[in-house]
Amino acid sequence: MLKRAAVLMCSLGVAVLSAQEPGGPRLKAGAVPELPALAVGGGEVLLDVAVSATGRVTDVTPIRSVQPFTDATVAAVRGWQFTPAADEEHRPIRSRVLVAALFRAPAMYTNGGDASGSDIARPSPEIPFPIGTVSPTYPPLAHGGGVVLVEALIGSTGAVERTQVVRAAPPFDSAAETAAQRWLFRPAYVAPRAEARFAYLVFGFPAPVVTGGASPRAPR
């Protein structure tokens, strides 16, 4: 009798853990966007990405856009491959995922205006949506530029529950992950409740442009 009870409890435990696993697609492979070479400012891009039951990206809808960052991010995301979402019977299904990209201005220090963008569409309720973003700091000992991709698990309350760097660009990884952990979200909603979902956050670090002052004229 005790053995049967133990087996039943283990079975229930597995069912509970499975029910608590986040739904939605999860990134399997893909390149990060390139840093636009001629950009003089920063920008924030939000994309609503449709993923097929085979894990292929079938459509990318910009929600927030600022060029040239939108084109660079969309071009990269179209080639991503995902492990598809599954229904309650573990069959792969079509789904959606949020990709957010924040590109710093090419300066050592930035402010909130450096990551502006225009909202041009409404997001699907099936994806978490950022309601507060934080720009990463440029590491003081870094040289050059880089792009970091962070996977963030957004819980059913909208809090960032955990993060991990999935495409690294040392020495920018720590700054990107620290910024990602401070973002705030409206959670994904799949009727009849809010659910945990993965989101993918791109952080672009262009090399700061250093301008020197005019050389003083020699006395005559």
Whole-number pLDDT of residue 17: 33
Contact predicate 122/48, CB 8 Å = no
| Positions of E strands within the chain | 26-29, 43-51, 57-65, 81-83, 85-86, 92-93, 95-103, 118-119, 129-132, 146-154, 160-167, 184-186, 188-190, 193-195, 197-205
pLDDT of 109? 73
Nearest to 129 by CA among 43, 201, 50: 201
**Encoded tokens for 139:** 């590491």
For residue 18, what pLDDT is reported? 35
- Give residue 211's pLDDT: 59
Give the pLDDT confidence of 29-74 residue by residue, as tens digits: 999 999 988 888 899 999 999 999 999 999 999 999 999 999 999 9
Distance CA 27, CA 170 (A): 21
pLDDT of residue 116: 62
Q: Which residues in the chain come in under a pLDDT of 70?
A: 1-21, 110-116, 210-220
pLDDT given at position 213: 46
Q: Which domains does the chain have, with CATH numbers?
A: 22-205 (3.30.2420.10)
